[in-house]
């Protein structure tokens, strides 16, 4: 083989692969360009899960007609002039790659006008080939339209997930940016339906309400902390509000969305001992740090950064979260038992793993009955004794915060998570009811449930399945549902919470509920 320089189209397709992985990456780049251009309003229209068309319109500064061809060229940017600038970047873009990359794997049309210009200009790029710049009428700002994404790279198309998943990625992405930029008005439509709409009032709590619903937004705790050169603001969930995955944990660093597992760990550590094993908080945290202390040029998609003082950033996040939790969550019991409070005990959760597994794993014949009677016995008499094959004899000592039963056993102290035990009991009872004949009970007063856009979309797709297992749910407005009936078994449980838990679990599957739809849902 001889060594050759790659033809420019090949080189640019390779480069594009790093920037444009899926429809949501296109949305991200266009959105960031709008923000960099100082837009006050960004309107996004996505069709065919982003494969047919993505349109992003902003009212920012615009691009002049004579720079339009440059804008779609590789390594062409207005945001950086010399290498040193890389260490004091205040814009989201700087690599000058996004438009060129998008143009090389789609049919891209950019229409733009600067306020001082009388007319607008339009340029089309198809699979990397730019056409002539045309003069057109256009409002001030920029409209980027991306059609037939990956039409010339069919291999890429095959890597995309289901349409529902791709749509959800876009929903989640725009939601995150709306939270990070509350002063910008966002409007996202997918397949012609509004998914998210914010007012641009600058009030982050208002955006939270638009994304999670009023009820959740009200409960979120505000984080506000400045420590040395790190400022941490945003919102976190109180300890009682958790999720079964990390998906609703968002970090922005200097206005840039980044995915850093270490930051998530710092957050979770701040909650430690207050969360059940396998549960995660919901959080949107915005870090501001002098640009010279962060290297943003780590990855073409700019989803990672490198901190100059990594440890101090992580401990700063931990401290900020912990302070917010302590301010809002009085835990007097913990004060007298400092051995619970030290961050060094992070591994103490492991000891409860055995329990968790036997409570949440596969059903074991008869176990539910045993647990159930134990539960009743425990509640009936403080001296009750637990007897069960897997668990030694325990003597009940007491109860903490209506959440844990404290018991003494042969090898020490036992904490029984009452909530998990109860869940297990319900699960067993539900499993015993024959599939398809699950009795449903109409609620006296229908319950209104608000969900974030991505969850609402998932739930909307599964109404018929839910009905078969006893939940009658009707769509009502943007992200609102009316819950009319619940499975009889769930009487006495907060119906909205039950529904939320179901949806949350749908989210964990890429293709929720297909083969074993009902059985899986019942298990949930």
For ligand ADP, the binding residues (CB under 6 A) are 29, 33-34, 36-37, 58, 60-63, 71, 76-79, 93-100, 142
512 binds, among Mg ion, ligand ADP, none (CB under 5 to 8 A by kind): none
Check if the beta carbon of residue 278 is closer than 8 Å to that of residue 417: no
Residue closer to ligand ADP, measured from CB, 29 or 172: 29
Residue 487 sits in the site that holds Mg ion (CB under 5 A): no
Residue closer to Mg ion, measured from CB, 93 or 195: 93
CB of 100 to ligand ADP, least distance (A): 6
Residue 230 sits in the site that holds Mg ion (CB under 5 A): no
CB of 214 to ligand ADP, least distance (A): 33
Residue closer to Mg ion, measured from CB, 36 or 507: 36
Query: Phi and psi dihedrals of 294, rounded to 5?
Result: -130, 135
Beta-strand relationship, 283-288 and 249-253 = parallel
318 binds, among ligand ADP, Mg ion, none (CB under 5 to 8 A by kind): none
94 binds, among Mg ion, ligand ADP, none (CB under 5 to 8 A by kind): ligand ADP
Residues in binding contact with Mg ion, number by CB under 5 A: 3
Residue closer to ligand ADP, measured from CB, 98 or 173: 98
Q: Which of residues 170-209 bind Mg ion (CB under 5 A)?
A: none
Residue closer to Mg ion, measured from CB, 78 or 352: 78
Q: Which residue is nearest to ligand ADP (CB)?
A: 93
Check if the beta carbon of residue 80 is closer than 8 Å to that of residue 89: yes
- By residue count, the chain amounts to 524
Residue closer to Mg ion, measured from CB, 254 or 358: 254
CB of 189 to ligand ADP, least distance (A): 18
**CA 513, 518, 523 angle in degrees (round to 5)?**
95
The alpha carbon dihedral of 338, 344, 348, 349 has a sign of positive
95 binds, among Mg ion, ligand ADP, none (CB under 5 to 8 A by kind): ligand ADP
Give the position of tokens 């189209």. 9
384 binds, among Mg ion, ligand ADP, none (CB under 5 to 8 A by kind): none
* 412 vs 390: CA distance, rounded Å: 16
| C-beta neighbour count of 169 within 10 angstroms | 22
| C-beta neighbour count of 120 within 10 angstroms | 23
Check if the beta carbon of residue 419 is closer than 8 Å to that of residue 402: no
CB of 99 to ligand ADP, least distance (A): 4
Check if the beta carbon of residue 277 is closer than 8 Å to that of residue 352: yes
17 binds, among ligand ADP, Mg ion, none (CB under 5 to 8 A by kind): none
Is residue 227 classed as helix, strand or coil in its secondary structure? strand
CB of 253 to ligand ADP, least distance (A): 17
CB of 188 to ligand ADP, least distance (A): 16
CB of 93 to Mg ion, least distance (A): 3
User: Given candidates 20, 24, 27, 98, which one binds Mg ion under the rule CB under 5 A?
Assistant: 98
Query: Phi and psi dihedrals of 445, rounded to 5?
Result: -120, 120
Give the position of tokens 């009940």. 396
First-to-final CA distance of the chain: 56
Query: Phi and psi dihedrals of 398, rounded to 5?
Result: 170, -165
Q: Which residue is nearest to Mg ion (CB)?
A: 93
Is residue 399 classed as helix, strand or coil in its secondary structure? strand
Residue closer to ligand ADP, measured from CB, 97 or 171: 97
Q: Which of residues 26-65 bind Mg ion (CB under 5 A)?
A: 33
CB of 40 to Mg ion, least distance (A): 18
Residue closer to ligand ADP, measured from CB, 257 or 271: 257
Give, for 17, the enclosing helix (H) or strand (E): helix 8-19
Residue closer to Mg ion, measured from CB, 93 or 141: 93
Residue closer to Mg ion, measured from CB, 64 or 388: 64
* 3-state helix, strand and coil shares in percent for the chain, rounded to the nearest 5: 40, 25, 35
Helices (H) and strands (E) in the chain, counts: 18, 23
CB of 27 to ligand ADP, least distance (A): 13
Strand order of the sheet with strand 480-487?
440-450, 480-487, 472-475
Residue closer to ligand ADP, measured from CB, 82 or 336: 82
259 binds, among Mg ion, ligand ADP, none (CB under 5 to 8 A by kind): none
96 binds, among ligand ADP, Mg ion, none (CB under 5 to 8 A by kind): ligand ADP
CB of 85 to ligand ADP, least distance (A): 12
Contacts 24+ apart (CB under 8 A), 385-391: 390/354, 390/358, 391/355, 391/358
Here's the x/- map for Mg ion, 76-95, by CB under 5 A: it reads as -----------------x--
Residue 71 sits in the site that holds Mg ion (CB under 5 A): no
Residue closer to ligand ADP, measured from CB, 107 or 500: 107
* 206 vs 503: CA distance, rounded Å: 23
Q: How far is CA 107 from the centre of its chain?
A: 30
Check if the beta carbon of residue 142 is closer than 8 Å to that of residue 112: yes
CB of 198 to ligand ADP, least distance (A): 19
Residue 198 CB partners (closer than 8 Å, separation 6+): 178, 182, 184, 185, 186, 187, 206, 207, 210
CB of 208 to Mg ion, least distance (A): 27
The residues that touch Mg ion, with contacts defined as CB under 5 A, are: 33, 93, 98
């Amino acid at each position: 083989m001889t060594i050759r320089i790659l033809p420019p189209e090949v080189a640019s397709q390779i480069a594009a692969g790093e920037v444009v992985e899926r429809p949501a990456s296109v949305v991200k780049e266009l959105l960031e360009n709008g923000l960099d251009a100082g837009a006050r309003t960004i309107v996004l229209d996505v069709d065919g899960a982003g494969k047919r068309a993505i349109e992003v319109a902003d009212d920012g500064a615009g691009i002049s007609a004579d720079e339009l061809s440059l804008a779609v060229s590789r390594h062409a940017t207005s945001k950086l002039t010399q290498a040193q600038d890389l260490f004091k970047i205040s814009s989201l873009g700087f690599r000058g790659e996004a438009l060129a990359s998008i143009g090389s794997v789609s049919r891209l049309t950019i229409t733009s006008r600067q306020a001082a210009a009388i007319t607008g200009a339009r340029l089309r790029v198809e699979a990397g080939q730019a056409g002539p710049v045309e003069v057109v009428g256009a409002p001030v700002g920029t409209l980027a339209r991306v059609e037939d994404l990956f039409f010339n790279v069919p291999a890429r198309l095959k890597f995309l997930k289901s349409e529902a998943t791709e749509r959800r990625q876009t929903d989640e992405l725009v939601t995150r940016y709306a939270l990070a930029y509350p002063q910008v008005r966002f409007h996202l439509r997918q397949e012609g339906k509004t998914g998210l709409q914010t007012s641009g009032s600058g009030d982050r709590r208002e955006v939270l309400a638009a994304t999670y619903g009023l009820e959740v937004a009200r409960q979120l705790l505000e984080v506000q902390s400045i420590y040395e050169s790190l400022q941490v603001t945003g919102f976190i969930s109180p300890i009682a509000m958790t999720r079964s995955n990390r998906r609703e944990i968002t970090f922005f660093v200097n206005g840039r969305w980044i995915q850093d597992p270490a930051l998530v760990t710092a957050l979770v550590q701040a909650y430690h001992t207050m969360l059940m094993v396998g549960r995660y908080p919901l959080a949107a945290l915005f870090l501001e740090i002098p640009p010279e202390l962060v290297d943003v040029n780590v990855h073409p998609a700019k989803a990672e950064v490198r901190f100059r003082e990594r440890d101090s950033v992580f401990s700063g996040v931990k401290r900020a979260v912990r302070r917010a939790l302590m301010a809002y969550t009085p835990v007097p019991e913990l004060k007298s038992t400092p051995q619970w409070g030290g961050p060094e005990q992070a591994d103490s959760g492991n000891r409860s793993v055995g329990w968790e597994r036997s409570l949440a794993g596969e059903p074991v014949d008869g176990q539910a009955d045993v647990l159930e009677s134990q539960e009743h016995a425990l509640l009936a008499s403080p001296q009750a004794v637990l007897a069960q094959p897997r668990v030694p004899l325990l003597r009940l000592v007491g109860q903490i915060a209506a959440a844990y039963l404290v018991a003494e056993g042969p090898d020490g102290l036992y904490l029984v998570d009452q909530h998990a035990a109860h869940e297990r009991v319900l699960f067993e009872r539900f499993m015993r009811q024959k599939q398809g004949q699950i009795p449903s009970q109409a609620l006296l007063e229908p319950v209104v449930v608000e969900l974030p856009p991505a969850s609402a979309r998932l739930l909307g797709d599964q109404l018929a399945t839910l009905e078969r297992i006893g939940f009658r749910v009707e769509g009502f407005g943007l992200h609102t549902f009316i819950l009319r009936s619940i499975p009889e078994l769930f009487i006495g449980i907060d119906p909205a919470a039950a529904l939320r838990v179901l949806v949350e679990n749908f989210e964990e599957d890429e293709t929720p509920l297909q083969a074993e739809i009902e059985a899986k849902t019942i298990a949930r």
